[in-house]
């Protein structure tokens, strides 16, 4: 039996949609939302009808009708107490996604819009590998301050998808392997995958600096900055996430541009680039012992994993410790579609969020 699946992935300034026939993509559209469009809404939740209408128009413009669909799957949002995998968009999940108790994020609209399109058709709506996925061990949550728990934020959707893809390529299952996966993008997160679960993570603000994020550094320096009166909370947050990392040092987060500078003899750009690689390698090294056994593979994925210069430099550090595989890019749309496809085929069971 063949299935037609609509994928919805709302982001801060765009809504990505795609339609799949089983594993094959029929069309893919990135709907851009300029500031003047979104500024009319006081809250992200207020964008619901606007984004839904944009999606339906894009589907019609591509020559398809919602009546053709067998399922709709949306990007999972900042949902608390949720494990990986697929979930029906039930009433409990909708209440959480539409409420004010969770962090406002455009991805929270994914499941809501999926249900609004699929529900009237009598078709299932799912989310898959939600951003808030929490599978880490209790010991991994402990920090040096009792009132602060470590949060399992990482690039769940893409890293789990790349884990499954690699496992399939070597004739194994994702659940049977020990995989350390580094997502290298505008933000960098590193995660340990064991038994099909993410058991520990280094979040994108807790480890290596990245093209546009500051990463971690000695906390007392941060305390001094916070009490210096030099920055407001919003300004400092932006300096840490958005204007940090290589962008702070070199004025750009574009790795291709930085590599061109290095090839042209820019020694300072080379130093900063090498420092980023050095920190990525250290982050990977921090999580290797968690398995208490040999890791099957270290996987480098994400947008900047397309850089042969960067991945080659990371390999020099890591390959003496573990095999390294490069699976570049962000495959979120494919990951969402394949999750729904496995559920429709009965290979996985969708859960009900409680």
Q: pTM here?
A: 0.89
CATH second-level architecture of 156-328? 2-Layer Sandwich (3.30)
Chain segment 323-354, per-residue pLDDT in tens: 999 999 989 999 999 999 999 999 999 999 99
Domain boundaries, the chain: 4-135+332-352, 156-328
Q: Is the pLDDT of residue 77 over 90?
A: no
Q: What is the mean pLDDT of residues 200-206?
A: 93
Q: Is the pLDDT of residue 196 over 90?
A: yes
Q: Is the pLDDT of residue 12 over 90?
A: no
Q: What is the 3-state secondary structure (H, E, C) of the chain?
A: CCCEEEEEEECCCEEEEEEEECCEEEEEEEEECCHHHHCCCCCHHHHHHHHHHHHHHHHHHCCCCHHHCCEEEEECCCCCCECCCEEECCHHHHHHHHCCCCCCCCCHHHHHHHHHHHHHHCCCEEEECCCCECCCCCHHHECCCCCCECCCCCCHHHHHHHHHHHHHHCCCCHHHCEEEEEEECCCEEEEEEECCEEEEEECCCCCCCCCCECCCCCHHHHHHHHCCCCCCHHHHHHHHECCCHHHHHHCCCCHHHHHHHHHCCCHHHHHHHHHHHHHHHHHHHHHHHHHCCCCCEEEEEEHHHHCHHHHHHHHHHHCCCCCEEEEEECCHHHHHHHHHHHHHCCCCCCEECC
Q: Is the pLDDT of residue 169 over 90?
A: yes
Chain segment 88-144, per-residue pLDDT in tens: 999 999 999 998 888 888 999 999 999 999 999 999 999 999 988 999 999 999 999
Q: In the chain, pLDDT over 70 holds for what percent of residues?
A: 100
CATH class as words, domain 4-135+332-352: alpha beta
* The pLDDT value given to residue 94: 96
Q: What is the mean pLDDT of residues 268-297?
A: 97
Would you say the CATH fold of 156-328 matches that of 4-135+332-352? Answer: yes
């Amino acid at each position: 039996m063949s299935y037609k699946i609509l994928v919805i992935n709302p982001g801060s300034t765009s809504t990505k949609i795609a339609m799949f026939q089983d594993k094959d993509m029929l069309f893919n559209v990135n709907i851009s939302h300029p500031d003047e469009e979104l500024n009319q809404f006081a809250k992200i939740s207020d964008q619901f009808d606007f984004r839904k209408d944009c999606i339906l128009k894009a589907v019609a413009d591509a020559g398809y009708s919602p009546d053709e669909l067998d399922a709709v799957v949306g990007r999972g949002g900042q949902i608390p107490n949720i494990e990986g995998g697929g979930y029906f968009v039930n009433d409990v999940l909708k209440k959480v996604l539409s409420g004010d108790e969770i962090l406002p994020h455009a991805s929270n609209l994914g499941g809501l819009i999926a249900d609004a399109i699929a529900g009237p058709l009598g078709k299932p709506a799912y989310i898959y590998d939600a951003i808030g996925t929490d599978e880490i061990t209790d010991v991994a949550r402990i920090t040096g301050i009792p009132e602060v728990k470590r949060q399992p934020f990482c690039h769940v959707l893409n890293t789990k998808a790349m884990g499954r893809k690699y496992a399939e390529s070597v004739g194994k299952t994702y659940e049977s392997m020990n995989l350390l996966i580094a997502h290298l993008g505008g933000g960098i997160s590193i995660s340990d995958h064991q038994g099909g679960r993410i058991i520990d993570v280094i979040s994108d603000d807790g480890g290596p600096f990245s093209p546009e994020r500051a990463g971690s550094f000695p906390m007392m320096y941060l305390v001094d900055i916070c009490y210096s009166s030099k920055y407001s909370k919003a300004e400092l947050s932006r300096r840490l996430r958005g204007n940090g990392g290589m962008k702070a040092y070199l004025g750009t987060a574009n790795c291709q541009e930085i590599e061109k500078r290095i090839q042209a003899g820019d020694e300072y750009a080379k130093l900063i680039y090498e420092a980023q690689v050095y920190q990525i390698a250290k982050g990977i090294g921090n999580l290797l012992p968690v398995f208490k056994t040999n890791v099957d593979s270290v996987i480098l994925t994400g947008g900047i994993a397309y850089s042969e210069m960067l991945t080659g430099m990371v390999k020099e550090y890591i390959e003496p410790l573990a095999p390294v595989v490069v699976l570049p890019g962000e495959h979120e749309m494919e990951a969402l579609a394949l999750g729904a496809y496995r559920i429709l085929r009965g290979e996985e069971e969708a859960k009900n969020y409680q």
